[in-house]
Amino acid sequence: MYPRAERRFIRTNKITIIVLFLVIAAGGIVRSTGSGMGCPDWPKCFNRIVPPTDVTQLPQGYEQQYIDGRAKKNQRFAKIVEFFGYAEMADKIRHDESILKHESFNAAKTWTEYVNRLVGVAAGFCLLFTAVFSFTYLKTKPSIVGWSVLNVFVVVVQAWLGSIVVSTNLMPWIITVHMLLALLIVAISIYTFYQATTFRNKAILSGQSVGFIKGIAVLTLVLTVVQVVFGTEVRETIDHLNDQGVDRKSWVAELGKPYFVHRVLAYTSLGLTVFLFFLVKNKFSSLTLQSKYAWIVLILVAIQMASGITLARFAVPAFAQTTHLVVASLFFGAQYYLMLLMTKLKR
């Protein structure tokens, strides 16, 4: 059905999507283990391609060297923030000494962060190959080329933002933007995959009017993005409580309004997802992609709720933190693809 060059693009695009989710999983492990500053510089780690395994391998006086380097980068970043009208935020970046706080060397954290970066590099190459192979659609479907090339530029921005995350010592709002940008990269990759597969196979699309169902799908997707924002805010509060030495068992009780909003949105999302599931099941055959992804979305929201309850009831265990983040990204991806599949076939 698909010419050889198109099959190559679709296969590469699919691999890219898988690797992107692996990047998010690796990032979740870094966050849950507190390894974000395992490498105090970027893109190298302790100025080495292969990071050290023992403190004796570190260069003398490296602490101040990296602090000075991060301070200079933060000053440049503050100018960019100020240029966009956020003077107060820029002032905090310039004068908040806590963001230059040095973290003692820990080999396990260093290698956890290093593996995260390696997976990120792999994702970058996958996106680059996807963009190169997309040129097979230059005459027949140029939008695929445009989005694929754009995604390479977005991942370059994401890599730069990753360096800012390090230089600002994991400043909360930057981590939130970093996560949202990761979801944008995933969304673009899923969109180009959708365009490429439906270009030759229109049978994937719906032959019926599905405007209402697509509206519900869009609403649940937007709700998920809002949840991600509040979820990262909850995570930032947990990091703050941890830094203050608050007992782990008291964390949930201290989370306040962001956690309450996050919980309300979670149950709202669950209700909408169940509603969407029955709408799709009543409209589409069980053999269709729409029906298949309705099941996937339903299963993912169930796992997500279970991991959230585990976090709340068992003092925020690290494994549940990672599970919660990874499943949230998978849930977003499946929701987005299901929404795209709600497109009516043009006759």
**Alpha-helical segments (H) within the chain:** 4-33, 62-83, 87-95, 107-133, 142-167, 172-200, 211-243, 257-283, 289-313, 318-341
Q: What is the pLDDT of residue 347?
A: 55
Q: What is the pLDDT of residue 169?
A: 63
| Distance separating alpha carbons of residues 126 and 121, to the nearest angstrom | 9
pLDDT in tens, the chain (347 residues): 678 899 999 999 999 999 999 999 998 888 778 777 788 777 788 888 888 888 888 877 777 777 777 777 778 878 887 877 778 777 877 777 766 677 778 888 889 989 988 999 999 999 999 999 999 999 999 999 999 999 999 999 988 887 777 667 666 677 788 889 999 999 999 999 999 999 888 777 776 778 889 999 999 999 999 998 888 888 878 877 777 778 888 888 888 888 899 999 999 999 999 999 999 999 888 888 999 999 999 999 999 999 999 998 888 888 888 899 899 999 999 999 999 998 866 65
Residues contacting residue 203 through CB under 8 Å, at least 6 positions apart:
none
| Amino acid letter, 269 | S
Q: What is the pLDDT of residue 346?
A: 64
298: left (phi over 0), alpha (psi -120 to 50) or beta: alpha
Burial 142-165, CB ≥16 within 10 A → b, else e? eebbebbbebbebbeebbebbebb
Token couple for 136: 């097979």
Domain boundaries along the sequence of the chain: 1-200, 202-347
pTM of the model: 0.88
Q: What is the pLDDT of residue 345?
A: 65
| Distance separating alpha carbons of residues 251 and 248, to the nearest angstrom | 5
The answer to whether 189 touches 325, Cβ cutoff 8 Å, is: no
Q: Domain 202-347 is in which class?
A: mainly alpha
CB-CB neighbours of 220 under 10 Å: 23
Q: What is the pLDDT of residue 15?
A: 97
Give the DSSP per-residue string, 209-247.
Answer: --HHHHHHHHHHHHHHHHHHHHHHHHHHHHHHHHHTT--
